[in-house]
Amino acid sequence: MNPKNVGVIENPDGYGKVGNPVCGDLMEIYIKVKDDIITDIKFKTFGCGSAIATSSMVTELAKGQHVDDAIKITRNDVADELDGLPPQKMHCSNLAADALHEAIKDYKKKKK
Amino acid sequence: MISLLTRVQLCGFKEENMERIYLDHASSMPVDPRVFEFAKSYLIKDYANPSSLYSIGLEIKNAIEESRKKIAEFINAENEKSIIFTGSATESNNLALRGTALRNIRDGKEVLASAIDHISVINPMKELQKNGFTFNVAPVDPYGIINLEILESLLTKNTTVTSLMYANNEIGTIEPIKEVSKIVHEKGRYLHVDATAAAGRLPIDVQEDGIDLLTLSSNDLYGPRGAAALYIKPGVKVQSVLLGGGQERGLRSGSENVFAIVGMGEAARIAQKEMKNESERLKKIRDELIKEILKIEDTYLTGHPTKRLPHHASFRFSYIEGESILLNMDMYNIQIATGSACSHKTLEPSHVLLAIGLKHEEAHGSMVMTLGRSNKREQVPVIVKGVKETVQRLRQLSPLT
């Protein structure tokens, strides 16, 4: 277990938060964007091993990508990069991708 | 092992520093080498079926009866006939609950368990609802001790079976069995006690405690898996749940697992002899662990501080999740358990932690340590360091801190 991109970004260009600690998973993703390219990305996760792994993986996948490409990253992409997840843990990868999508939507809203 | 090593390397730890510290004895225990030596001939040499009438069959039958005697002595049963061997504690619980409720159906169709009973008690009780039974659940206080007033109010003369754990495996709390027995026998009928977690840690006396049915597991006594026992007080009527050749007085059909049964008896004999000293030794280590781990901020003990099993320490940590704790502790080669939802197939947090009043998000951050013979006092600083670093690391990751 050696997650990458842990932390927060002060004054992020986009911020996404999904999940609920009651259900056992809560994720936050912060992005810094320049010319629609994600230049920095950080996360914080309350959750199981899969949740931490998928958060870390989704930040790795999105880093350096154009926001319009990054928003297409799906739960399956995340799980595939991790060489699969047990069926009952698939919702963890869903959450990680959702948090990224929320952060990108937030960025686009702010840009308008 | 490969994946563990990879994880260890990822974290930059050195392999040679990693002595395994196993703290999950409630989940599985090693077989005592003395028990294995005692029983091994029944695997490779004395393999005849104890139901066979030739002399070797009869000798093996005698070995089973010797084991039965040892189990009866272990819990001070009236006689050895009151002990039925089964294949697992789950099976003993099923036989005790379904077998007794269905056999005595004409006397009433109500059953009762505590909110913190094991799933192998709760699920047979729920199944009885399909047979028209009412299943009542007695709540527990924040320490996990059964509420005696509510228990009394739920019992009627139709309550044929009431079930309670001797002590809880997840929070270590010891239940007031004698008081419960008094109430059950005044207002209801039979008391079943699941002593899987308590046996071998605490002395158990079924006559003194007033128990009608008692579940014991072999592995929890350092015996082989594949054997367990159900004590049935003389006079209590039970019917079988498995139908077949009629072994074990017709109550548990199926050829006997002789190796495991003989091993279980020897394990019980050794436990009876060594339990007192071993429990005192483990209690000292356990107390030190609790003292040190509670120094971590926002950390709480779960279960009762004093009325608890001597080898048991359980905690909850705010802001972090139990499966992550388990995986991170494994990188230190320390094995612990958790009641977190993520570690269960159902994705529901432990019903025990919810029953003692924890919120869902609190129940997710639980850790259970159960000590055994392999644990030594010198391990305490290593364990405490592992826990401190794990909690700190996961809190750095957590959006809740």
The answer to the question of residue A66 being in a domain is: yes
pLDDT, position A89: 72
Contact B351, B361 (CB under 8 A): no
Q: What is the pLDDT of residue B8?
A: 40
- CB–CB of A2 and B11 under 8 A? yes
Cβ–Cβ of B340/A24 closer than 8 Å? yes
d(CA B257, CA A41): 58
Helix (H) or strand (E) holding B369: strand B366-370
Residue A87 is predicted with a pLDDT of 72
Integer Cα distance of A53 and A73 in angstroms: 16
Give yes or no for residue B10 having a pLDDT over 70: no
Q: Over the range B91-103, which residues count as b (16 or more CB within 10 Å of their CB) and which as e?
A: bbbbbbbbbbbbb
Q: Mark yes or no for CB contact B321/A89 under 8 Å.
A: no
Question: Where does CATH 3.40.640.10 sit in chain B?
Answer: 34-271
Q: What is the predicted ipTM?
A: 0.80
- In chain A, what residues touch B360 (CB-CB under 8 Å)? 21-24
Q: Which residue on chain B is closest to A43 by alpha carbon?
A: B397
- Per-chain mean pLDDT for chain B: 94
Q: Which CATH number fits domain B34-271: 3.40.50.300, 3.40.640.10, 3.20.20.140, 1.10.3720.10?
A: 3.40.640.10
For residue A28, the chain B residues in CB contact (below 8 A) are 399
Are B207 and B36 spatial neighbours (Cβ–Cβ below 8 Å)? no
Tokens for B24, please give them: 């999950």
Q: Do A49 and B342 touch (CB under 8 A)?
A: yes
A1 falls within a domain: no
Burial of A68 per CB tally in 10 Å (0-12, 13-18, 19+): exposed
Mean pLDDT of all residues in B175-181: 98
Domain-embedded: residue A5: no
- Expressed as residue numbers, the domain containing A70 is 14-111
For residue A33, being part of any structural domain is answered with yes
CA-to-CA distance for B102 and B79, rounded, in angstroms? 25
B11 is catalytic: no
**Cβ neighbours of B398 in A, within 8 Å:** 44-46
Determine, for residues A22 and B360 on separate chains, whether the beta-carbon distance falls below 8 Å.
yes
Buried b (16+ CB within 10 A) or exposed e, B243-278: eeeebbeebbeeebbbbbbbbbbbbbbbbbeebeeb
Backbone angles phi, psi at B217, to 5 degrees: -120, 140
Q: How many Å apart are CA B113 and CA B175, to the nearest integer?
A: 13
Statement: residue B5 has pLDDT above 50:
no
* φ and ψ of B45, to 5 deg: -115, -55
Q: Mind listing the pLDDT tens digit for each residue in A12-61?
A: 999 999 988 777 788 999 999 999 999 999 999 988 888 888 899 999 99
Q: Select from B304, B353, B356, B316 the least CA-distant residue to B141.
A: B356
* Cross-strand pairs, B230: B84, B215
The total number of structural domains in chain A stands at 1
**What are the phi and psi torsion angles at B370 (to 5°)?**
-125, 120
What amino acid positions of A are annotated as catalytic residues? 23, 92
The answer to whether A17 faces chain B, any CB pair under 8 Å, is yes
Cβ-Cβ contacts under 8 Å between A and B: the total is 71
Most confident of A51-60, B192-201, B339-348: B192-201
Phi, psi of B384 (to 5 degrees): -60, -40
Q: Where in chain B is the domain with CATH 3.90.1150.10?
A: 2-25+275-397
Residue B366: which residues within 8 A CB-CB, separation 6 or more? Answer: B170, B302, B314, B315, B316, B322, B338, B339, B340, B350, B353
Q: Give the per-residue pLDDT at A23.
A: 72
Tell me how far apart the alpha carbons of residues B180 and B186 are, in angstroms, rounded to a whole number: 10
Task: Tell me whether residue A83 is in a domain.
Answer: yes
B71 with B92: CB under 8 angstroms?
no
How many angstroms separate the CA atoms of B10 and B43, rounded? 43
Contact B342 A45 (CB under 8 A): no
CATH superfamily of B2-25+275-397: Aspartate Aminotransferase, domain 1 (3.90.1150.10)
SS3 label, residue B178: helix
Q: Is A31 inside a domain boundary?
A: yes
Is position A96 within any domain? yes
Residue A2 falls within a domain, yes or no?
no
Query: What pLDDT was estimated at residue B3?
Result: 40
What does the alpha-carbon distance between residue B316 and residue B367 come to, in Å, rounded to a whole number?
A: 6
Rounded Cα distance, B75 and A26, in Å: 48
SS3 (DSSP) at A45: strand
- pLDDT tens for residues B75-113? 999 999 999 999 999 999 999 999 999 999 999 999 999
Residues from chain A that touch B11, judged by Cβ atoms under 8 A, are 1-2
Q: Supply the CATH number for residue A98's domain.
A: 3.90.1010.10
**Which chain B residues are closer than 8 Å to A44 by Cβ?**
397-399
The span from the CA of A24 to the CA of B360, in Å, is 8
Annotated active-site residue in B18, B150, B342, B384: B342
Amino acid at A57: M
pLDDT at A49: 84
